[in-house]
Copies of this chain bind each other. A is one copy, B any other.
Amino acid sequence: MRHAVILAGGSGTRLWPASRRERPKQLLPLAIDDEPMIATAVALGRAVADQVLIVTAESLADATKAAVPDVEVISEPVGRNTAAAIGLAGALIAERDPQATIAVLPADHHVRDREGMAAAIKTCLDSAEKSDVIALVGIPPTRAETGYGYLKMGPGLAEGARPVLRFVEKPNRAKAENYLASGCFLWNAGIFCLTAKRLLEELRMHLPKTAMILRMVVQGNPRELYEQLESISFDHGVMERTSNVVAVPAAVGWSDVGSWAALPEVRGIEKGNTTAGTTCVVDGTGNVVMSDDETLIAMIGVSDLVVVKAGDAILVVRKDQAQRVKELVEAIGAQRLDRYL
């Protein structure tokens, strides 16, 4: 059977004040359809797989179950990065269904063309089953983005699964421009498929301690063991160390919604601005203006600004500095204003 594993342990702060400790990004309705992002991820999982399993943090389990009530949710006792989360899900699935194939999906990304993404994931699942590879979805870059990891491919970016030559960390501006111009690079969307067997084999080979501990965890041993797991991403711990990785290009309008600056991709632009809720923008463009209730946000003569009212907090930041929200959140914590986080 095909299984979708949705990674929903994120506690991202870059979308504060909408995103809070108790209600991180994947539980927010950021897109026009007003559906929590995790519900959209579950729908994608159901479109490509027979079973859907969500991995989240214990502190988010209840809110996650409330957001998608009819999906199985397992929770990590402590966060140990994606290698542990994916390994836990894979070990559980392998116990139940040794012939399983797994599609790993983030809970908090946005895809404009959902059918196109589902088709690409199915191509990945086919590859994983046929050739026992790890098959990633790769996004043909549309700009010199410095916030994403890249996949170096052979020239041409033909359709279907092709070998990944190298994983590339978030590049600087000059490198990103080269990658875009070369036509040999894809964005790493963090979506990939592999068989449960291959997953466990990769862990045994590249993260043997992780593999051993996870085996004990799923066999019912104390979950305190989980704390001993190495905190490492699946990309670093496995992907970059193994061979036999392929990628399927999919020009589907994907975004990781990594900051408020990504909201125009997610919600579109109307009359020059991206707005939600009650707003009035006079003589200004390129703004992201969001109010989560009847509070009016009114602006005049201001451009390229992010203004977000969510709950009991208001954020103001330049759109080109939207990644600094993380720094702001730290300052708020340091000023003993934790109750706003």
Contact = CB atoms under 8 A, between A and B. Distances in A.
B296 A324 contact: no
A216 interface: no
Contacts of A32: none
Assembly stoichiometry (copies) = 2
A156 interface: no
A337 B302 contact: no
A301 B313 contact: no
A328 B282 contact: yes
A317 B287 CA distance: 13
A321 interface: yes
Pick the most buried of A300, A307, A312: most chain B CB atoms within 10 A of its CB.
A300
Contacts of A119: none
Interface string A1-43: 0000000000000000100000000000000000000000000
A309 B17 CA distance: 15
B297 A317 contact: no
A328 B300 contact: yes
B298 A316 contact: yes
Interface of A: 17, 278, 280, 282, 291, 294-302, 305, 307, 309, 312-318, 321, 324-325, 327-328, 331-332, 335, 337, 340
Given A280-B332, A300-B327, 8 more contacts: A17-B298, A295-B314, A298-B313, A298-B331, A299-B315, A300-B325, A307-B307, A309-B309
